[in-house]
Structure 1
Amino acid sequence: MQDRARETRKVLLESAAHMFVERGYAGTSVNGISDHSGRTSGAIYFHYSSKEKLALAVVREQFATWPQLTAAYTARGVPPLEKLVGLSLRVAQSLSEDVVARAGARLWAERRAIESAVPAPFDAWSVAATRLLAQARARGELAEGIEPSTAAVTLVSAFFGFCTLIDEMPGGRCWRELLEQWWTLTLRSLQADPDPAALLARVRAGSPARRGSAAPCPT
């Protein structure tokens, strides 16, 4: 019984995510989610009680993956700025290719249409970025005058803005290449001895996001 309930919640969550990505919060209805999922409206109300509660569940599901992503970049032996860039690739991949993550990002952007408070995506990311930048400074790898906590907030804000707009940018399907271009500019300001090409090459060689099976960008 628990397995069936868990599977139903998963189907409803993913169906709702598809609808939120395609139509936004205001344009999505419980009946539409019911049609997409093949489950009854009664099942939706039983598990989530309202469209609002279902939207919040989608947002929380997105952020539940961030600790798993950051855990992959706690291993010793990898310089902190490389960890930061590698982590950004994983998060960008999630925001580009995972429908629940994409829906969570859109719902956060439309949070004023949702009566309940929508969790912000920035807190855990900013803490992780601050820690990695502080480690880079301790190793002498951060440019003079860069304050880790302030720089982390700026980086995280710019990163999420970039990911939000990337689908609308020329070549948006090639999000990895666009993100590497962004990091090329950013690392010139962050690194004590700027060499973004070398750092990105090392990240590219070891990044799960780069080793994935995504189709190549069109030429």
Structure 2
Amino acid sequence: MARQQERARRTRAALVESAAIEFAKRGYAAASVNTILEGSNATKGAMYFHFQSKEELARAVLQSGVEQFTALTDRWTSRTDIGPFEALHGFVIDLAKLFHSSVIVRAEFRLIVEPEFYPDVQSGGSQVWGRTAHEFAIRAQRDGLLRADADPEKFTRVLAASLAGQRYMSDMTALEGDLGERFAESLEVILAAMASPEWLEKFARDGWPDSGSELPDS
């Protein structure tokens, strides 16, 4: 029984991984179930044992992507040894690395903006990292690191939109390797407008510290 359960788990994982590759490449509507089956070495019967439809398979990819985003955000929000802006910088760098290394994350990002999944936007990966940015902004405000007139909600909206835009531009211009630099650029532009003068003076003098990236370079 245990061997059968392990085989079923591996088959399901292979289907999700193969589906992510196909969805990331072609999107949802053009994705081929036959190609997914070929990539996973699973039979159609095995697929329909785990997933009743292509949509259900896509939702499994979405959920897996959210789980990867959540694991990353949990690691950075638990950091208490560095300041909130330094932690946020480390987080966005690792977020860029995750986009580069995980096809499931790339597939989630593509699927979530397709018409079939518009209702899932509020529970998608962008909401996970948006909440993380907001948590760091609130911490910064509490610590006096934001300008007195800065709004953490605005900080979050602008940063999240900028990171999403940088991600799309990376796809369009095929400069995936520069994504970490682009994410850092977005953060620095927003901080220049909203961080306290004292923090900006310190940043101009010292730059970003080595905050201990959680993910290896690809």
Moved more, 18-27 or 161-170: 161-170
Q: Which moved more, 1:157-166 or 1:122-131?
A: 122-131
Change (3 A) 1:213 1:81: closer
| Whole-Å separation in 1 of the counterparts to 2:119 and 2:135 | 31
The residue that corresponds to 1:63 in the other structure is 66
Unpaired runs of 5+ residues, structure 2, are none
TM-score by length of 1: 0.85
In structure 1, C-alpha distance between the alignment counterparts of 2:118 and 2:158, rounded to whole Å? 28
What is the CA-CA distance between 1:115 and the residue it aligns to? 8.8
Report the counterpart of residue 19 of structure 1 in structure 2. Answer: 22
Change (3 A) 1:177 1:145: same
1:217 aligns with: none
2:87/2:211 contact within 8 Å kept = no
Opposite residue 154 of structure 1, the aligned amino acid is V
Runs of 4 or more consecutive aligned structure 1 residues displaced over 6 Å after TM superposition: none
* Matched letter for residue 88 of structure 1: V
> Deviations along 1:111-130, whole A, 9 cap, x unmatched?
x0459746433333333222
Structure 2 Cα separation of the partners of residues 159 and 166 of structure 1: 10
Q: Unmatched 5+ residue regions in structure 1?
A: 215-219
Q: Does 1:164 align with 2:168?
A: yes
Structure-1 separation of matches of 2:128 and 2:26: 28
Letter in 2 for 1:37: S
Structure 1 pair 116/206, CA: closer, same or farther in 2 (3 Å)? closer
For 1:5-154, list aligned pairs within 5 A.
5-73=8-76, 74-110=78-114, 112-114=115-117, 117=120, 119-154=123-158
Give percent identity, aligned residues only.
Answer: 30
Higher relative contact order (CA 8 A, sep 6+): 2
Q: How much has 1:27 moved relative to structure 2?
A: 1.1
- 1:49-87 Cα deviation digits (max 9, x unpaired): 110000010011000122211222212121011111211
Task: Give the TM-score normalised by the residue count of structure 2.
Answer: 0.86
Question: Distance between the aligned counterparts of 1:23 and 1:105, measured in 2?
Answer: 13
In structure 1, what is the Cα distance between the partners aligned to 2:66 and 2:124? Answer: 9
Within the candidate set 207, 210, 213, 2:213 is matched to: 207
Give per-residue Cα distances to partners, 1:130-166, cap 9 Å, x unaligned. Answer: 2211111121111231111232122212212222222
Is the CA contact (8 Å cut-off) linking 1:167 and 1:173 kept in structure 2?
A: no
